[in-house]
Structure 1
Amino acid sequence: MLFKTCLKELDVQLLLIEKATNINDYAEVDLSENTLANQNIDAPNHQQLQNYLNEIQQKANTKVLYGGYLEKRNLYANSALFNSETIRNIHLGVDFWATAGAGILAPLDGTVHSAYYNEGEGNYGGTIILKHQFQDFSFYSLYGHLSKASLHIEEGTQVKKGKVFCYLGEAHENGNYVPHLHFQWILTLPNDAKDYPGVCSATQVEKYAKNSPKPELIIK
């Protein structure tokens, strides 16, 4: 409750993509396992997924597609990172599907907690975590699948609300995904953290959802 009150007080809006700052520029998309199976979309196939996203975007007549909180997905089926001892396929953040190179706007003032390249197939690639403060309450926001050039920003750098501070990466630098931003709220985080799980197993949902509340596009 304190967290949501804080976001209201700070007038947080998650219209994060530069040149898409109106609510009408965004439309929700469902990329759950069942939905893509019904559409005969092989989610790990970049071209198939991109074509599907383009089709949805054109029908919605919008600039950015978003969604995915607690969605059960098969986007990660080809990555050993999510399919070793335990299958992890529940998405913990919200994705914003936009073109590589798109600028990302800070949703509120913060400082750079970390800027790190999380290497490997299916990983975050370029990752920035911001720390935010509201009175005595601190929390974090994570931005994954960024360009390597975005990581030149130094830890401790002040980031201002509404300003571009990083950019979406291409597939070769974003963990090998169709270009998009992974955004996630995090309430508590170790001081030395360079990332945080963005996907969990079905048995871990309650634990992680409590520490990563649902990102709302507009806080009402």
Structure 2
Amino acid sequence: MKKILPLPLLPENLYWLDISEQNKELLEVELVNTQSFSDYVFDQIPKGKIGIGGWLENRAIYKRSEHFQQNNEARTIHLGLDLWTDALTPIFTPVACKVHSFKNNVSFGDYGPTIITEHLDSKLGNIFTLYGHLSQNSISKLKIGQYFDQGDQIGEVGNFPENGGWPPHLHFQLMKSMEGKFGDFPGVCSVNDLDYFSKICIDPLEFLGIKKELEN
């Protein structure tokens, strides 16, 4: 299992958080109010555990931001893995890598401070890893091409509003191609675009060595 947070991502340390459109409790949450959204999320997660989930989850929560509404077709399918934990939690590189790009994506509902790294996988070739919803401090002294060994700290979980206006968590996403993008890559797509993005985005659970539990 690859290390990415201080607490190992073992089954006993994880709580599978459902924020899909099937979770009707979210209808009672004022999602546009980030504090209310954050209170709901962390009320669900038992103390001492990391909230996890989101890979290819169809979510209604993106209606909270105009950032995800485009061309009359809303983006609702989540393309990464979310790890919900305290702000300022250190984030470590699961493999040796170098910085491809970074950017503060400042729109409400966007990533906020974002780092994208690049590494060569023996089976898959070049892989790009996106770390989203970081602190501003995570990118303040970063340089393109900067090298990180496996297990080095690359950043920290950001708090709202600097993290794009989200409850504190890490958005972790893997791509086979950057499609010409720099410091940013779609983390959510429309249902019609899922086939396209599913060929680019890699299963982060398999990459990190996490087995999806059916129940908490």
TM band (smaller chain): 0.7 to 0.9
1:183 is displaced (CA, Å) by: 0.5
Q: How is 1:70-85 mapped onto 2 (pairs within 5 angstroms)?
A: 70-85=56-71
Aligned to 1:64: 50
Aligned to 2:80: 93
1:215 and 1:36 map into 2 onto residues whose CA distance is 26
1:75 and 1:50 map into 2 onto residues whose CA distance is 13
Check conservation: 1:72, 1:91, Cα contact below 8 A.
Answer: yes
Q: How is 1:12-91 mapped onto 2 (pairs within 5 angstroms)?
A: 13=2, 15-18=3-6, 20-23=7-10, 24-37=12-25, 40-58=28-46, 61-85=47-71, 86-91=73-78
The superposition leaves residues 68-101 of structure 1 with CA deviations (integer Å, 9 ceiling, x where unpaired) of 0111112221211111322111111011101111
Aligned to 1:129: 116
1:37 is displaced (CA, Å) by: 4.1
**Secondary structure of residue in 1 paired with 2:184:** coil
Unaligned runs of 5+ in 1: 1-11
| Pairing 1:115–2:102 present | yes
Identity %: 32
1:81 and 1:140 map into 2 onto residues whose CA distance is 23
Question: Partner letter of residue 162 of structure 1?
Answer: G
Check conservation: 1:16, 1:106, Cα contact below 8 A.
Answer: yes
Check conservation: 1:43, 1:74, Cα contact below 8 A.
Answer: no
Q: Which one of 112, 135, 143 corresponds to residue 154 of structure 1?
A: 143
Provide closer, same or farther for how the CA distance between residues 84 and 138 of structure 1 changes in structure 2, counting only shifts above 3 A.
closer
Q: Which one of 126, 130, 136 corresponds to residue 142 of structure 1?
A: 130
RMSD: 2.1
Aligned to 2:214: none
The superposition leaves residues 42-77 of structure 1 with CA deviations (integer Å, 9 ceiling, x where unpaired) of 44443343233223222xx54211110111112221
**Secondary structure of residue in 1 paired with 2:199:** helix
**Secondary structure of residue in 2 paired with 1:52:** helix
Relative to the length of structure 2, the TM-score reads 0.86
The superposition leaves residues 185-218 of structure 1 with CA deviations (integer Å, 9 ceiling, x where unpaired) of 1001145522110001110011111110221141
**Secondary structure of residue in 1 paired with 2:192:** helix
Relative to the length of structure 1, the TM-score reads 0.85
Please identify, of 78-87 and 200-209, the stretch whose mean Cα deviation from structure 2 is larger: 78-87
1:44 and 1:209 map into 2 onto residues whose CA distance is 28
Aligned pair count? Answer: 205
Aligned to 2:93: 106
Aligned to 2:186: 197
Unaligned runs of 5+ in 2: 212-216
Question: Partner letter of residue 72 of structure 1?
Answer: N
